Structure 1
Amino acid sequence: MENMEQFSEFHKKLSEMVVQMFEDKDLMKSFRDANYDLVLADPGIGGGEMLARLLKVPLVYNVRWTIQGEGHFVIAPSPLSYIPFTATELTDKMTFPQRVRNFLSYFTGLYTLAQITEPHYRPLVSRYFGPSVDYKQFVQDADIWLMRTDFIFDFPRPTMPNMVYIAGFQCKPPKPLPVDLEEFVQSSGDHGIIIMSLGTLIATLPEDITEDIAAAFALLPQKVLWRYTGKRPANLGNNTLLMDWLPQNDLLGHPKARAFVAHGGTNGVQEAIYHGVPIVGLPLVFDQPDNLSKISARGAAKIVDFATITRSTFADALRAVLYNSSYRETMQTLSRLHRDQPMKPLDRAVFWIEYCIRNRGAPHLKAESLKMSWFVYHSVDVIATLLTIALIFTFFCVFIVKSLCKMMCRVKKAKRE
């Protein structure tokens, strides 16, 4: 409940910023005078689609999440029988109880998201574009969806013509490390290094968990580079280097990288896939448990629960990933599959952005289904009509048969008399 209130307050502030922007006549005039060709927006934050509509320019989303949920669930067919809903940590192979859970999670999740975002953004759509404008269709009306995922990371599922997959667009070959850092990495010998980072938002941890993690690292022969800005753990081993910041991509791409301890953010997971480094997952919030569960289901990650973590459970997870070759082999297979494509993800994104600019959008790639009500989309009206006709026909046939039977009974009775 507290998280819902925080997210609701976040979107409330964002909606107020959108109003301030739209009501600033000088700012809006400068936008129009600049004659922009396109709006590139993150649909996880409302406002970009409204700005594109006001400026009458094409809209491209850089997307995995929207204010209405994960991007695929917003515009693509999503059969709940094999497509796990966000945060369920399910796979595409579900038992009956899991499918029940997935079904209930889907509708609960949609209701929750609607309660968090719609009270703040729906009134803005009505205010600036009229009460007759459909809010959901308004959000769906992007020309191109640049999806920060792919089917190496995600489970195969239906997609749409205007969805372009750019997973790992930020990944690139490693650069040489600074001299002092390279010396530390080389000092690991054949054991190699472990990289640990919990992203830009989580730089410190509770003291007891920090001590357990440090103690587990100290048990290993590998060298450890740990992005951590909190109090230095009392039992930090000589093999562990604490850093305020580390060149994550360059370290993951180093030949001595053996494991990546990560919170499961999309960018970090995709960098690990790109460089073929197996993961020890410490999921915290948002989509992180779901992201790590996908890699774990493929056999390239080991997940440790923060609620029950101890130095022994963490050390066991590290040893499993370090010394069971299947984790590394699986992740390197995923890496080869990810890299085996005709165009780099970033180049693909640039092409489709420029495509929209050249052609003033891509309306020919938008499915008509986005304009349909749910009962038309699922042919409920057609099914109901056909069932009605079938019932009427059946009733008529039964009526005729009964009438004929009665008539024959009367004829037989008359003959007997």
Structure 2
Amino acid sequence: MGSIPAVSLLPLVLSVSLLMSPSVQGGKILVFPVDGSHWVNMNLLIQNLHSRGHEVTVIHTSTSWYIKGNAPHYRSITITLPKAVDIEEEDFFINFLGKMLEIKKAGGSPLALMEFFWEMITGLSKIHEQASMVGVEILENKALLQSLHETQFDMVLIDPGLPVGVIVAHELQLPVVFNVKWITSGEGHFVVAPTPISYVPVPGHAATDKMTFVERVQNVLFYLLNTCIDKFVVCPHYDRLVERYLGPDVNFYHLLQGVDIWLMRVDFVFEFPRPTLPNIAYIGGFQCKPSEGLSSELEDFVQSSGEHGFIVMTLGTLIKGLPTEITSEIAAAFAQIPQKVIWRHLGERPSTVGNNTLLVKWMPQNDLLGHPKVRAFVAHGGTNGIYEAIYHGVPILGIPLLFDQFENIIRLEARGAAKSVDASTLTSQSFLEALREILHNPSYSNNMKRLSSLHRDTPVHPLHTAIYWIEFVIRHKGASHLRTESYKMPWYVYHSVDVMVFLLALMLVLTAIVVGTVRFICSRLCRRRKPKQE
């Protein structure tokens, strides 16, 4: 009798472990999600919480892309804002990317960079200003606020990319769990855990944990820049909300730092090691799962690739497509390889598309990455796609476009599992050379398979970890025993500046006493010697 593959046992093991773990009956959970790719993660948690018997209520705006008003696994409360949040406008990210690529192609003149940076900062401020209006609409609506109180929720689950939910949670006096990677100042660890920037790359700085002196200088500058943006651009919108509704004694940043549990979408197979705290639970790759069968049309196309296999390409949910001149170069490169290509492409069809390339508007990404004939993954470097590639052991050719995608790709490059190309300077020849290196150099595939083995070798599936800690907070009405309150210390106490000043002063006093005593003794001895000499 043949052995059962380990992968096929994963759903069974997960189900059994969930059944055996302590549970709570019918918990009531209030959820503040973030739209876009973040919703994919949050929706998976909600589905699993619903299957465990919990009642989930989702707060969302009337202009949400993916968060539906009606769903079988949650009920929703729709907030209508006076003006739609800019990030929810259809062409926001396309226009943002287009301007960035134009600046790079032009050589990145200082004036153009400053204009772009100012525009980005202004847009960021507007996004958080309008996101904070969700809190205003809830706290000003007495009927809604009373309904939330009367529902008697057990906890609040929040994606703090837009963190207005912590203010509402404080008003409702409920424990909070973060489903988090990014927060107002960047990566979540920078808010809650000790973060030595001598070896922890700062968000926005595409570097490894082995930085040169120049890179460490850059890291400090990025840290100062991020701190200033957070303090003077983002937080003031929430600070005003806190002062208006919660009073001057409440500090918004302390609300963030005082969260009970941080479900960090991080796995140190992918991230660089760094300090952590007891109330941080790591769930990186919790959305990953074994692949399922493809549709007959896709399976026929994949099988037609023969021994060469096929390549998957997608740029995620935020960007419809790259500019035509770039996609034409990519399509021309694809046409020169023997592999088949499945490309999620929503823009204008490139004129250089070869017979080996299938353009689709949607693809079952996880199922394609788990197919035995897949050879490489061409991707923008979004976190969800990277973890699925790690899970299935597929090497990546990265085309990072926005935000943390550059840092994500460099982490895989440092581990020898990916190679990146610059979209602003991409040509068919440079793209083809990079693609052939990924396909023909076995080290990329071997390194990614090693990461896959490490990622899967865990006693508890990350999804189970997430569900466990959410139910833990419900059972115990929080997790304050795991949370440090060092954030309440003044900066000079946290860094022991007062202790060092005291010890320095003590040392100076002791030194002065010793020096004074020696001088006194010496002067007495000198006085005794003078009469004898006379």
Flag whether TM exceeds 0.5 (same fold).
Answer: yes
Whichever residue aligns with residue 234 of structure 1, its letter is: S
Separation of aligned partners in 2, 1:125 and 1:401: 60
Give the match for residue 12 of structure 1. 129
Give the match for residue 417 of structure 2. 300
Separation of aligned partners in 1, 2:483 and 2:328: 53
Separation of aligned partners in 1, 2:434 and 2:418: 9
| SS of residue in 1 equivalent to 2:267 | coil
Give the match for residue 13 of structure 2. none
| SS of residue in 2 equivalent to 1:349 | helix
| Sequence identity percentage | 54
- Does residue 106 (structure 1) correspond to residue 201 (structure 2)? The answer is no
The aligned runs of 1:166-181 (5 Å cut-off) are 166-181=283-298
Asked if 1 retains the 8 angstrom alpha-carbon contact of 2:270 and 2:412, the reply is yes
Give the match for residue 349 of structure 1. 466
- Does residue 268 (structure 1) correspond to residue 368 (structure 2)? The answer is no
- Does residue 361 (structure 1) correspond to residue 478 (structure 2)? The answer is yes
Whichever residue aligns with residue 439 of structure 2, its letter is: L
For residue 231 of structure 1, report the CA deviation from its aligned partner.
1.1
Whichever residue aligns with residue 306 of structure 1, its letter is: A
| SS of residue in 2 equivalent to 1:94 | coil
- Does residue 163 (structure 1) correspond to residue 163 (structure 2)? The answer is no
Q: 2:531 aligns with which of 406, 414, 417?
A: 414
The aligned runs of 1:180-191 (5 Å cut-off) are 180-191=297-308
| SS of residue in 2 equivalent to 1:195 | strand
- Does residue 390 (structure 1) correspond to residue 498 (structure 2)? The answer is no
- Does residue 72 (structure 1) correspond to residue 160 (structure 2)? The answer is no
- Does residue 215 (structure 1) correspond to residue 328 (structure 2)? The answer is no
Give the match for residue 93 of structure 1. 210
Q: 2:456 aligns with which of 339, 343, 355?
A: 339
Separation of aligned partners in 1, 2:168 and 2:371: 43
Separation of aligned partners in 2, 1:84 and 1:286: 14
For residue 399 of structure 1, report the CA deviation from its aligned partner.
1.3
Aligned pair count reads 417
Q: 1:81 aligns with which of 194, 198, 204?
A: 198
Give the match for residue 278 of structure 1. 395
TM-align CA RMSD: 1.0
Normalised TM-score (structure 2): 0.77
Render the CA deviation track for 1:2-48: whole Å, top value 9, x for unaligned: 11111111001011221111111111111111111110001111211
- Does residue 194 (structure 1) correspond to residue 311 (structure 2)? The answer is yes
The aligned runs of 1:230-269 (5 Å cut-off) are 230-269=347-386
Give the match for residue 124 of structure 1. 241
Separation of aligned partners in 1, 2:443 and 2:233: 42
Asked if 2 retains the 8 angstrom alpha-carbon contact of 1:203 and 1:227, the reply is no
- Does residue 206 (structure 1) correspond to residue 323 (structure 2)? The answer is yes
| SS of residue in 1 equivalent to 2:226 | helix
Asked if 1 retains the 8 angstrom alpha-carbon contact of 2:158 and 2:178, the reply is yes
Give the match for residue 23 of structure 1. 140
Please list every run of 5 or more consecutive structure 1 residues that lacks an aligned counterpart in the other structure. none
| SS of residue in 2 equivalent to 1:169 | coil
Q: 1:228 aligns with which of 332, 340, 345?
A: 345
| SS of residue in 2 equivalent to 1:302 | strand
Separation of aligned partners in 1, 2:213 and 2:442: 33
Separation of aligned partners in 2, 1:128 and 1:413: 81
For residue 118 of structure 1, report the CA deviation from its aligned partner.
1.3
Separation of aligned partners in 1, 2:122 and 2:502: 44
Normalised TM-score (structure 1): 0.98
Please list every run of 5 or more consecutive structure 2 residues that lacks an aligned counterpart in the other structure. 1-117
Separation of aligned partners in 1, 2:251 and 2:503: 29
Give the match for residue 51 of structure 1. 168
Render the CA deviation track for 1:158-187: whole Å, top value 9, x for unaligned: 111000011111111111111111100110
Asked if 1 retains the 8 angstrom alpha-carbon contact of 2:179 and 2:262, the reply is yes
Separation of aligned partners in 2, 1:287 and 1:64: 11
| SS of residue in 1 equivalent to 2:263 | strand
For residue 300 of structure 1, report the CA deviation from its aligned partner.
0.4
| SS of residue in 1 equivalent to 2:397 | strand
For residue 124 of structure 1, report the CA deviation from its aligned partner.
1.1
| SS of residue in 2 equivalent to 1:260 | strand
Separation of aligned partners in 1, 2:396 and 2:468: 32
Give the match for residue 153 of structure 1. 270
Farther off after superposition, 108-117 or 321-330: 108-117
For residue 373 of structure 1, report the CA deviation from its aligned partner.
2.1
Asked if 2 retains the 8 angstrom alpha-carbon contact of 1:69 and 1:110, the reply is no
